[in-house]
Structure 1
Amino acid sequence: MKKQKLAVIFAALLTMVGFSSCLNGENDPTVSPQELMKVNGVAGYYTFTSAYGYTITPLNMSALSSLNLGSYAIVQYSYDSSLLEWDESKDVTINNVVNIQDEMVVAQAPEEEDGNAPIYTISSSMAQPIYFDKYNLFIPVTYYYKNSSDTDDLTAELNSHDFVLYYDSNDAESTDSRLVLHLRHKVSDTEVQRSDYGTEYRHFNITSVLSDYANKYGVSMPDKIVIEYEKSSSSSYENISSEKVEVEYKSLFEETSSNN
């Protein structure tokens, strides 16, 4: 696979996570689902594991490169649905892979210096926080950036954005049914004028958060997770407001033994 196209990062393509497929014509059994998957294998021999438990193995292995082993990616692939079931392990043709960046999770209250850039939004009608399993949360952050027709400049700009998720066990807003997390956005150069915005999923491993939460409240998991973030209608950090998005949690996992 050629180095991922930067334009793909902000495409609506990335918001269609989960198992979705489309037929390439009424009589063509080829389907092309797009799915959040874990990257496994070794360099040069990759496999991808679905949250549903099956594994796909690329038929076009030599076309793949620059994948982050042990991390996650949004994978679009094709196979013959007349021969293979959607939920069975299979050999497929990989059409596109977009790596998802891993971010930090910190067990402390966010300080003023932890953030220096606002977020446009973290939830929309097309992009919602999602899980691979109960330990791995993926947040769609729509943030301001400086676009460029120069690939190297755009790469440097996108790499200058970092996100951190904070959990404070003493946070009065958290309860035995509601886990509150705080998302902060930091850029390496605050002098850059950023007028464009786009959406990108970022990965957060919340294993330590769930352990601290269980120790604090004596329950295995919260009913809901609330993500608080600093929002602005422009890239200026001077006019931010605190916003929250609430997502279901316990109902998705309490009866799913494969995620226990």
Structure 2
Amino acid sequence: MKKQKLAVIFAALLTMVGFSSCLNGENDPTVYPQELMKVNGIAGYYTFTSAYGYTITPLNMSALSDLSLGSYAIVQYSYDSSLLEWNESKDVTIQNVVGIKEGGTVSQAPGDNAGNAPLYAISSSMAQPMYFDKYNLFIPVTYYYKSSSDKDDLQAELNSHSFVLYYNPNDTEAIDGKLLLRLRHKVTDTEAKREDYGTEYRHFDITNILSAYSSVHGASMPEKIVIEFEKSQSSSYDKVASEKVEIDYKSLFEETSTNK
């Protein structure tokens, strides 16, 4: 298995969740799902759980021995669909694993120093915000970074980016039925020249935010989530403009008892 080396990944690589037939022929029953999964276990012995409840166990466990994964990952795997159902726990061959980094959450309005770097976008035709369950939100952040042919230098650059969601229960721009979150992006080196941009998903646990929203509005969940962020056509923080992306929420979970 070729280990994923870079944290910044173009949106197309992350969002093709579903099934594709094997290229060896139309009659080959091998399928290659790619989906967001919860990571269980430790390096050397991982299993992965789907949002639908089934668990996959790698047959090629040794190929994952040098991976260091967080709570969630995008996992591509293969199995024989003539022998196994898509929604049952099974042993599979792992093709690739992309770990998802954690973002932070703060229950207050963002201060003047909350962010120091703009984003290029947080959604596109290829990458949209998504959920594992109603408590775990995944935002595709497209941000400017400094490219390098040196693997260690590039990894250090990617590790210098952090993201935080702010929720202010008394935000004057909040609208009834809509949970307003403000996303801020920080880099440790503001003097670096960043001319490239790429997309990766960041994970945000919004359990405490949902609890605060419920206390203020008396509703178990909002109709929609609105994400406000600072955008620019370059990496300059002097030219930012506030933009918002609105995503469905309640309609995805209100009739799914396992997510309540």
Normalising by the smaller structure, the TM-score range is over 0.9
Residues 56, 89 of structure 1: 8 Å contact kept: yes
SS at match of 2:100: strand
Matched, 1:59 2:59: yes
Map 1:123-134; keep pairs closer than 5 Å: 123-134=123-134
Match of 1:117 in 2: 117
Match of 1:154 in 2: 154
Match of 1:19 in 2: 18
The CA deviation at 1:23 is: 3.2
Q: CA RMSD in A?
A: 1.4
Map 1:1-260; keep pairs closer than 5 Å: 3-6=3-6, 9-10=9-10, 12-16=12-16, 18-24=17-23, 25-64=25-64, 65-68=66-69, 71-260=71-260
Cα distance in 1, alignment partners of residues 42 and 7 from structure 2: 27
Provide structure 1 residue ranges, at least 5 long, that are not aligned to the other structure: none
Superposition TM-score, scaled by structure 1 size? 0.96
Residues 21, 34 of structure 1: 8 Å contact kept: no
Letter in 1 for 2:108: Q
Letter in 1 for 2:116: N
Residues 9, 98 of structure 1: 8 Å contact kept: no
Letter in 2 for 1:58: P
Letter in 2 for 1:139: I
SS at match of 1:156: helix
Letter in 2 for 1:226: V
Q: 1:95 to 1:228 in 2, by over 3 A?
A: same
SS at match of 1:96: strand
SS at match of 2:120: coil
Q: Percent identity?
A: 74
Cα distance in 2, alignment partners of residues 229 and 132 from structure 1: 22
The CA deviation at 1:93 is: 0.1
Letter in 2 for 1:162: S
Provide structure 2 residue ranges, at least 5 long, that are not aligned to the other structure: none
Output one character per residue of 1:207-235: Cα deviation in whole Å (capped at 9) or x when no partner. Answer: 00000000000000000000000000001
The CA deviation at 1:2 is: 5.9
Q: How many residues were matched structurally?
A: 258
SS at match of 2:13: helix
Letter in 1 for 2:87: D
Task: State the 4+ residue runs in structure 1 displaced beyond 4 angstroms.
Answer: none
Residues 138, 203 of structure 2: 8 Å contact kept: yes
